[in-house]
Amino acid sequence: MSPRENGSVGKPNASPRSPSGVAAGEGRSREDAFIQKVDICCTVYDFADRGKDSPEKERKRQVLMSLVDSIGAAEEPLTEAMMSACVHMFRVNLFRVFPPKVRSATVGASETEEDEPFFDPSWYHLQVVYELLLRFVTSPFVDPKVARKYVDSSFVSKLLDLFDSDDPRERDCLKTVLHRIYGKFMGNRPFIRKAVSNIFYRFVSEADHHNGIAELLEVFGSVISGFAKPLKEEHKLFLWKALIPLHKPKTVGVYLPQLTYCITQFIEKEPKLAGTVIRGLLKYWPVTNSQKEMMFLGELEEVLELIDMAEFQKCMVPLFRRIANCLNSSHFQVAERALFLWNNEHLFDMISQNRQVIVPLVYPALERNARLHWNQSVLNVTMNVRKMFFDMDERLLLACQSNFQVEEEKRAATEERRRLTWEQLERNADAFQPANTSFPAAPSSAPPVVPTVT
Amino acid sequence: MATVDEPLYPIAVLIDELKNEDIQLRLNSIRRLSTIARALGEERTRKELIPFLSENNDDEDEVLLAMAEELGVFIPYVGGVEHAHVLLPPLETLSTVEETCVRDKAVESLCRIGAQMKENDIVDFFIPVVKRLASGEWFTARVSSCGLFHIAYPSATDPLKTELRTIYGQLCQDDMPMVRRAAASNLGKFAATIEQSHLKTEIMSIFDDLTQDDQDSVRLLAVEGCAALGKLLEPQDCVAHILPVIVNFSQDKSWRVRYMVANQLYELCEAVGPEPTRADLVPAYVRLLRDNEAEVRIAAAGKVTKFCRILSPQLAVQHILPCVKELSSDSSQHVRSALASVIMGMAPVLGKDATIEQLLPIFLSLLKDEFPDVRLNIISKLDQVNQVIGIDLLSQSLLPAIVELAEDRHWRVRLAIIEYIPLLASQLGVGFFDDKLGALCMQWLEDKVYSIREAAANNLKRLAEEFGPEWAMQHIIPQVLEKINNPHYLYRMTILQAISLLAPVMGAEITCQKLLPVVINSSKDRVPNIKFNVAKVLQSLVPILDQSVVEKTVKPCLVELSEDPDVDVRYYANQALQACDQIMMSS
C-alpha cells in the first residue's frame, strides 16, 4: 500500500472528542491547525535533483521546524488525531528503501577504495523529521497509552529496518529514538527485543551486511543494564543465541566495543554467566584472522576481570589450551597480546592459585616460543613469563620442563604409532570387505535416486 | 593407546582420536569414518558407531561439517538402503546446530539419503524427522526442515501429504523471518512434487502470502519462485496467478525486488507463452529498462538479447529497440557496459536490415564510449555482428577504438584487448591486420607490465597459427629477433619466451636457421637470469630440432652453461642436459 494515499486517513478520524477539560472549539482549531501543518509535511521531495521544487522544499522545512517548536512548547496533551497524523507523517518521510551501494566510477579506484560513509542528500529534511520524532516520543504531552496504537509493532519494525542506513547521522538519530521508544512504550519492549534478535540472527547466519549493528548494540547496552535481577531465562537466551554469535562475522571489529559492553553488563548482573561467555568466545575463536584474534584476546581479558574463581575453574582447561595456541602464533602481535595477559593482576592471581592445572597447559607453548619464535620481543616476553612461573613455583616448572622433554622425545613415536594404528585398521577394513561384497552393488538395487513427479 | 600387537577396537581408536586436542587429528579421523565402519562391519556400524556419533556432536563446527558430509555417503557401510534410516538421527541433530554451513550440509546429506530410501521407510522414518524439525523450538531446525519436504512428499500417503502441505504453509507464516525465507526459497522445489490440483489452490495461496510479506528479503525470494512455479502450472493458470504477481513486483517499491524481476522476467515469458508476454510482460520489461535505479537497469539491460529472442522481430524493434537506444547513452557506465556485453546478440534476431539501420549506430556509439569496459564488451562479441553485416562496415570505427584500448592506462584493459587480437585477426583478415595492428602487437612486447609482455608473446604465437609460418616469417620473426638487443634484461627475457612459443609453430627448419642462433648467442649474456632462461628455452627446443643440431649446437652450449659461476644457471643447464639425454635415448 502506498503511504501517500493514506495521507488523509487521519482526517476523518479527526473529529473524536479532544481530551476532557479543553474547550471543544478552541481545542479543535489548535488540532486542525496542527494537522494541517503535518499534512503539508507528508509531501516527499526528490533531493537527488537539487534544484527541483526548491521553494516548496524550503517551505516544508519551515513547517517542520514550527512543528518541532509547537511540540516542544505544548502545554496540553496532543489529541489522538494529532498523534495519528504525526506518526503517519513519520512513516511517509522516514520509511524508504535505501538505494544500492554506489559502484565505483573507475577501474583503478575499486582496488583501493575504502567504504566511505554515505550522506543522504535528503538529510536536510530528514534531520528535522527525526528531531520531531524525538520530541514526539519524549514529550510528556504524548500519552503512551494512546500513542501506542500508532507507534505499533509495524512502526517499530520499519524503524528498525532504517538502522541499515548508510548515513551515520541517521543511525545516530535512530539510536536515540529507539532508546526513547523502548523507555516510554513498555508494551513494545518484547517486540523490540525479538525484532532486534532477528536482525542479529540474520546478520550472523545469512552472512548479510548490516550498517547498524553497533548502534543497535549501543541501545541494548542500556536496555540490558536495566534488566531486573535475577535475569529472566529469555534474556539469558538473548545473550547466548544473539549476542555471543555476533562474534562470528568478520566485521566484528566495527561493533566490538558495544558488544563487549553488552556482554559485561550481563556478567555484572549475573557473574555466573562469565563461564558461558568464555565458552562462547572459544567456540567462535578466529583461526586465520589475526586482527580478530587480538580483539578476542582483548575482550577475553575484560571478561576474565569479572569472573569468579568457581566459574574460572570450570572453563580454565579449554581456555588455556586456546591461550597456549595464541602464545605460539606466528603473528607477533597476537603472541604478544596473549603474553600480556599475565600482566593482569586479577588474572595472575587466579592463574597462580590454579597453577597445577594451568602451567602444564601453557608450558610447552612457552618452551616452543623460546626455541623457535622469530620475533625478538615475543622471545623476551616469553622469557619473562617463564621466569614468573619459575619464581611462582620452581618445582612445578622443573617438572613441566622434564615432562616436555619426555613428550618431545615421545612425539615421533606417538605419530608413528598413530600411523600404524590406522594402517592396521585399514587392513582390518579390507579384510572385512568380503562380507560386504554386496555393497558396491547396493545402490543399483535402490529405488531411483530422484523421486518422480506425479 | 593400544599398541600395534594388540587387537584393535576400531571404535576405541575413533574415540581416542576424537579426544585429541588437535583439531586436525579429529578432522582426519572423521574423514576416515568409512574405514572404521568397514573394520567394524555393517551390523556393529549400525549398533555402535552411528549411536556413538549421534551422541558426540559437541565438537567444533569444522568437525561437524565433515561428519555431516561423510554421513551422506554412508549407506553402503550400514548395510544398504534397507538400513539407511539409522543414519537419520545423527543428521537430524546436525541440522539443528547454530552454524549455517553444517546445517546446510546435513540437509544435503539427508536429502541424498532420503532420495534412496524405500517408500515405506520414508513414511516410517524420514517424514517423522521432517515433522520434528518443522516443529523445532529453535529456528535453525525449522529452517532445515524446509529443504526436506520435496524428498518426503512423493512417498507420503494422502493424509500425510495433506499434513505436510499444512506444515509447509505454517512455515511460510513462521514468526521468524529466517524461517519464512527458507520456506520461500524452497517453495519451487517442493511445488515440483505436488499434484496440479493442490498446486493451484494451496500452494498458490501460500505463494500469495509470501509475495505480500512485509520483509523485503522474503518477497525477494518469492520472486525467484515465480519462474519456477510458472513453469509447473498450465499456461492459463500461470497467466491467471503468476502474471499479476510479477507485474506487481515489477513496480515494487524495493529496488532489490525489481532487480530480481528484471533477472527472471524472460524465463517467465517462456512459461506464459507469446500472447500474454506481448500484452503484459513487454510493458513491464520496458518499465524495468527505464527504471530509476541503475542497478535495475543493469539487470534488465543484461537480458535484452534473451528477451528479444522470445519476441517477434517486429515487437523487438517497436518496443525494445527504443529503450536500447536510450540505454546506450545511459548515465551509468555499468548499464552501458551490461548492454554492450549482450547487444551484439541482437543482430541475428533483428536480421540484416534492422541491424544496419538501427543497431549499427548504437554499436558505433558504444565503441566510442568513454569507459574502456564498454568498448571491450563490444569488441569481445564482434564475431556475432560480423556474421550479420560483415566486417567492412565496422572496421573503420573499430580501429580507433582498438588503438585507444591498446594504450589504455589500466593494464587489465590492455590485457583484455590483447586476448581479443587473435579473434579480431581472424575477422579482419591479413590485409587489414598488417597495416594497422601489426605494430601494436610488437609494441606490447615492451610493455612495462609483465603480464602484458607475457600475453603479447602468447598473442604472437596465436597469430602465427592463424596466418601461417610464411606470413610470420615476414611480419613477426624479424621484428621480434631485432628486440633481443634491448638494453633491459627483462625485455630480452620476453623475447626468449616468445621464441620458445613460436618455435613449435614455425617448424624445425626456421627454428634451426633463425631462432636457434639468437638463443645460443644469448647464452653469453651478462645477466644470469637470461642465461638460465636460455637453458630452459633450449630444453624446450630439443624436441623440435634435428638430433644432429642438438648434438652439434645445443649440447655444447648447455655444457658451457653447466659450468657457469651462477648456481641457478648451472642447475637449469643440467636439467636441460638431462632432458636432452632422455629424448635422445627414447628416439
3-state secondary structure of B410: coil
CA gyration radius, chain B: 33
In tens, the pLDDT along A148-172 reads 999 999 999 999 999 999 899 999 9
Query: Would you place residue A27 in the very low, low, confident or very high pLDDT band (cuts 50, 70, 90)?
Result: low
Among all residues of chain A, which has the CA nearest to that of B412? A107
| Mean pLDDT lowest among A400-409, B140-149, B331-340, B365-374 | B365-374
Collect all residues with Cβ–Cβ distance below 8 Å to B216 and sequence separation of at least 6.
A97, B254, B256, B257
CA angle A384/A388/A391 to nearest 5° reads 135
Residue B460: what pLDDT?
Answer: 92
Query: Would you place residue A440 in the very low, low, confident or very high pLDDT band (cuts 50, 70, 90)?
Result: very low
Say whether A439 and B372 touch across the interface (CB within 8 A).
no
Mean pLDDT of all residues in B323-337: 90
In tens, the pLDDT along B480-493 reads 999 999 999 999 99
Residue A439: what pLDDT?
Answer: 44
The dihedral through the CA atoms of A198, A204, A210, A213 has a sign that is positive
The total of other beta-carbon atoms located within 10 Å of residue B364's CB is: 17
Say whether A453 and B176 touch across the interface (CB within 8 A).
no
Spatial separation of the C-alpha atoms in residues B496 and B484, rounded to whole Å: 8
The more confident residue out of A130 and A426 is A130
CA nearest A383: which of A397, A395, A398, A366?
Answer: A366
From the number of C-beta atoms within 10 Å of its C-beta (0-12, 13-18, 19+), residue B276 rates as: buried
Mean pLDDT of all residues in B260-285: 82
Residue B394: what pLDDT?
Answer: 67
Say whether B36 and A421 touch across the interface (CB within 8 A).
no
Residue A454: what pLDDT?
Answer: 35
As a three-state string, the secondary structure of B433-455 is: HHHHCHHHHHHHHHCCCHHHHHH
Residue B551 has pLDDT above 60, yes or no: yes
Amino acid at B525: D
Mean pLDDT of all residues in A384-405: 90
Say whether B192 and A245 touch across the interface (CB within 8 A).
no
Spatial separation of the C-alpha atoms in residues B566 and B410, rounded to whole Å: 37
Say whether A428 and B10 touch across the interface (CB within 8 A).
yes
In tens, the pLDDT along A173-212 reads 999 999 999 999 999 999 999 999 999 999 998 877 899 9
Say whether B177 and A451 touch across the interface (CB within 8 A).
no
Are A52 and A46 in contact by the 8 Å Cβ rule? The answer is yes
Burial letters B164-179, b for 16+ CB under 10 A, else e: bbebbeebbebebbbb
CA nearest A157: which of A200, A206, A202, A191?
Answer: A191
Collect all residues with Cβ–Cβ distance below 8 Å to A376 and sequence separation of at least 6.
none
Residue A143 has pLDDT above 70, yes or no: yes
For residue A144, say if its preceding peptide bond is cis, omega within 30 degrees of 0: no
Residue A285: what pLDDT?
Answer: 93
Amino acid at B30: I
Cα distance from A415 to chain B (closest Cα, Å)? 11
Collect all residues with Cβ–Cβ distance below 8 Å to B165 and sequence separation of at least 6.
B194, B198, B202, B203
The more confident residue out of B397 and B378 is B378
Spatial separation of the C-alpha atoms in residues A3 and A96, rounded to whole Å: 11
In tens, the pLDDT along B335-346 reads 999 999 888 888
Enumerate the residues of chain A whose CB falls inside 8 A of the CB of residue B40: 432
Q: In the predicted model, what is the mean pLDDT of chain A?
A: 84
The total of other beta-carbon atoms located within 10 Å of residue A376's CB is: 9
Collect all residues with Cβ–Cβ distance below 8 Å to A308 and sequence separation of at least 6.
A271, A274
Cβ-Cβ contacts under 8 Å between A and B: the total is 129
Q: In the predicted model, what is the mean pLDDT of chain B?
A: 87
Spatial separation of the C-alpha atoms in residues A170 and B166, rounded to whole Å: 42
Query: What is the phi/psi pair of residue A143, to 5°?
Result: -80, 115
> What percent of chain B clears pLDDT 70, i.e. is strictly above it?
96
> What does the DSSP assignment read for B292-307?
SSHHHHHHHHHTHHHH
CA nearest A261: which of A308, A303, A297?
Answer: A303
Residue B12: what pLDDT?
Answer: 81
Spatial separation of the C-alpha atoms in residues A206 and A126, rounded to whole Å: 31
- Which residue do the cell numbers 575463536 mark? A285
Cell for B424?
579480431
The total of other beta-carbon atoms located within 10 Å of residue A243's CB is: 20
Collect all residues with Cβ–Cβ distance below 8 Å to B233 and sequence separation of at least 6.
B199, B200, B241, B242, B271
Total residue length of chain A: 454
Residue B236 has pLDDT above 90, yes or no: no
Query: What is the phi/psi pair of residue B117, to 5°?
Result: -70, 155
Catalogue the long-range contacts made by A266-273 (C-beta closer than 8 Å, 24 or more residues apart). Answer: A266/A224, A266/A231, A266/A235, A266/A236, A266/A239, A267/A303, A267/A306, A267/A307, A268/A306, A269/A224, A269/A227, A269/A229, A269/A231, A270/A229, A270/A230, A270/A231, A270/A236, A271/A306, A271/A307, A271/A308, A271/A311, A272/A311, A273/A236, A273/A239
| Mean pLDDT lowest among A182-186, A445-449, B173-177, B280-284 | A445-449
Mean pLDDT of all residues in B542-552: 88
Residue A335 has pLDDT above 80, yes or no: yes
Collect all residues with Cβ–Cβ distance below 8 Å to B385 and sequence separation of at least 6.
B344, B347, B355, B359, B363, B394
Are A35 and A82 in contact by the 8 Å Cβ rule? The answer is yes
Spatial separation of the C-alpha atoms in residues B84 and B67, rounded to whole Å: 16
Cell for A301?
581479558
Cα distance from B295 to chain A (closest Cα, Å)? 7
Using the Cβ of B327 and the Cβ atoms of chain A, whether some distance falls under 8 Å is answered with: no
Residue A72: what pLDDT?
Answer: 82
The total of other beta-carbon atoms located within 10 Å of residue A13's CB is: 11
Residue B136: what pLDDT?
Answer: 92
The total of other beta-carbon atoms located within 10 Å of residue B80's CB is: 19
Are B546 and B512 in contact by the 8 Å Cβ rule? The answer is yes
Residue B6: what pLDDT?
Answer: 53
Say whether B293 and A100 touch across the interface (CB within 8 A).
yes
Residue B374 has pLDDT above 70, yes or no: yes
Spatial separation of the C-alpha atoms in residues B488 and B114, rounded to whole Å: 66
In tens, the pLDDT along B63-116 reads 999 999 999 999 999 988 999 999 999 999 999 998 999 999 999 999 999 999
Facing A446 at nearest CB: one of B77, B81, B293 = B81
The more confident residue out of A25 and A7 is A25
Using the Cβ of B108 and the Cβ atoms of chain A, whether some distance falls under 8 Å is answered with: no
* pTM to 2 decimal places: 0.78
Query: Would you place residue A379 in the very low, low, confident or very high pLDDT band (cuts 50, 70, 90)?
Result: very high
Residue A33: what pLDDT?
Answer: 87
Say whether B255 and A97 touch across the interface (CB within 8 A).
yes
Mean pLDDT of all residues in A258-281: 94
Query: Would you place residue A26 in the very low, low, confident or very high pLDDT band (cuts 50, 70, 90)?
Result: low
Among all residues of chain A, which has the CA nearest to that of B257? A97
Spatial separation of the C-alpha atoms in residues B244 and B281, rounded to whole Å: 10
Mean pLDDT of all residues in B11-39: 85
Among all residues of chain B, which has the CA nearest to that of A3? B253
Spatial separation of the C-alpha atoms in residues B529 and B397, rounded to whole Å: 43
Residue A104 has pLDDT above 60, yes or no: no
Residue B385 has pLDDT above 80, yes or no: no
Spatial separation of the C-alpha atoms in residues B346 and B340, rounded to whole Å: 11
Cα distance from B347 to chain A (closest Cα, Å)? 29
Residue A452: what pLDDT?
Answer: 38
| Mean pLDDT lowest among A273-282, B236-245, B390-399 | B390-399
Query: What is the phi/psi pair of residue B344, to 5°?
Result: -60, -30
Query: Would you place residue B436 in the very low, low, confident or very high pLDDT band (cuts 50, 70, 90)?
Result: confident
In tens, the pLDDT along B298-322 reads 999 998 888 888 888 888 888 888 8
Query: Would you place residue A12 in the very low, low, confident or very high pLDDT band (cuts 50, 70, 90)?
Result: very low
- Which residue do the cell numbers 529534511 mark? A125
CA nearest B179: which of B188, B170, B166, B191?
Answer: B170
Of the residues B98, B137, B332, the best mutation for testing chain A's interface (the one with the most A CB atoms within 10 Å of its CB) is: B98
Spatial separation of the C-alpha atoms in residues A61 and A67, rounded to whole Å: 10
Element (H, E) at A334: helix A332-339
Of the residues A96, A101, A107, the best mutation for testing chain B's interface (the one with the most B CB atoms within 10 Å of its CB) is: A107
Cα distance from A18 to chain B (closest Cα, Å)? 34
Residue B564: what pLDDT?
Answer: 92
Cell for B267?
524465463
Amino acid at B147: G
Collect all residues with Cβ–Cβ distance below 8 Å to A46 and sequence separation of at least 6.
A52, A53
Say whether B8 and A428 touch across the interface (CB within 8 A).
yes
Among all residues of chain B, which has the CA nearest to that of A195? B176
Enumerate the residues of chain A whose CB falls inside 8 A of the CB of residue B36: 425, 429
DSSP B487: S
